[in-house]
Amino acid sequence: MDKPEVKERTRTAYNKVGQDYDNWYWFKKSKELRAGLKGEVFTVLKKELGGRPKILDICCGTGYLVKDLSALGDYTGVDFAPSMIKHCSVTFPKNKFVLGDAEELPFKSSTFDAVVCFWSFHHFLYPEKALDEMKRVLKPGGLVVIATFKDAKLNLMAKLADITSDSYWGFKTVRHSKKAMGRMMSTRFKNVDIKIYPNGTSLLNAMGIRFLVVTGRK
C-alpha cells in the first residue's frame, strides 16, 4: 500500500468515527495518560507564551485542547477529517476550525505565534513535510510544541499494540526516536528541547508507552 492510499485510509477512518471518537475504548482508557501529557504540554505553553498569542492546533480532532488553548490565546483548529471539523464547529461555535492537511496547511506564512500538535504526529507519513509547514505558518520566533509517541523497537508489548491498532484502523503508526526527532527539528528550529514522558520506571514504560514532548522556536 503506497503512502497516498494509507493517508486516505487514515482520513476515512477518522472521518467515520467523528464525534464518537471520544467514546472509543482506547480514548477512554487513556484518559489519565492524556491528561498527564497535556499537563506537560501546557507547562511549556504557559511558560513560553505571553499576551494573547495566535495558536494553531494541528489535528484538533474532537476538540480535546480547545478550551485550554483558547484560555491562552486566539485559537484556530485544523483537521483533515470533515466530521471532526463539523463536530468542533457545533460544539465550540465561538472558535475557528478549518479543514486541512498538516502536510499542506491552508494558512498564509507567518500567521501564528504558536503551533501545537498533540497525539497525532505519529500518523504523519511525511513528518518532515509537516514540520516544514509548521515552520512556514509560524511567525519569526514562534513556538512549536509536539507531543508524540516515542519509538519502542525493543518492546514486544508496544509492537503488539501497534500491530493491533494498525490492523483495526487500517493505517500505520509511526513512532520516532528522540535522536530522529531531534535531527528533524534541529534543521528547522532553534532552541530545540525534547523530554520523555513519563520518565522513570512505571507500568507505562514497561509497556513501551512513552512520549516525546518536543519544543522549538522558528
User: What are the backbone angles phi and psi of residue 187, rounded to the nearest 5°?
Assistant: -85, -5
Q: For residue 87, what are the contacts with CB-CB under 8 A and spacing of at least 6?
A: 18, 19, 62, 63
**Whole-model pTM?**
0.89
Give the residue, 6 or 168, on which the prediction is more confident: 6
**CATH classification of the domain holding 132:** 3.40.50.150
What mean pLDDT is predicted for residues 153-158? 53
Q: pLDDT band for position 29 (50/70/90)?
A: low
Q: pLDDT band for position 206 (50/70/90)?
A: very low
pLDDT at 215: 98
Residue carrying C-alpha cell 467515520? 16
What mean pLDDT is predicted for residues 70-99? 97
Measured between alpha carbons, how far is 185 from 213 in angstroms, rounded to an integer? 12
Residue type, 72: L
What mean pLDDT is predicted for residues 194-201? 80
Number of domains in the chain: 1
65 pLDDT more than 70 = yes
What mean pLDDT is predicted for residues 97-111? 98
Domain carrying residue 74: 3-217
What mean pLDDT is predicted for residues 114-139? 96
79, 123, 136 from 103: Cα distances, Å: 11, 11, 11
Cβ neighbours of 208 (radius 10 Å):
21
Lowest-pLDDT choice from 48-57, 108-117, 122-131, 172-181 = 172-181
Residue carrying C-alpha cell 514562534? 142
Mean pLDDT of the chain: 86
Which strand (E) or helix (H) includes residue 58? strand 54-58
212 beta partners = 148, 196
167 pLDDT more than 60 = no
pLDDT at 56: 98
Give the residue, 194 or 24, on which the prediction is more confident: 194
Q: For residue 169, what are the contacts with CB-CB under 8 A and spacing of at least 6?
A: 9, 10, 13
38 pLDDT more than 80 = yes
Give the residue, 68 or 176, on which the prediction is more confident: 68
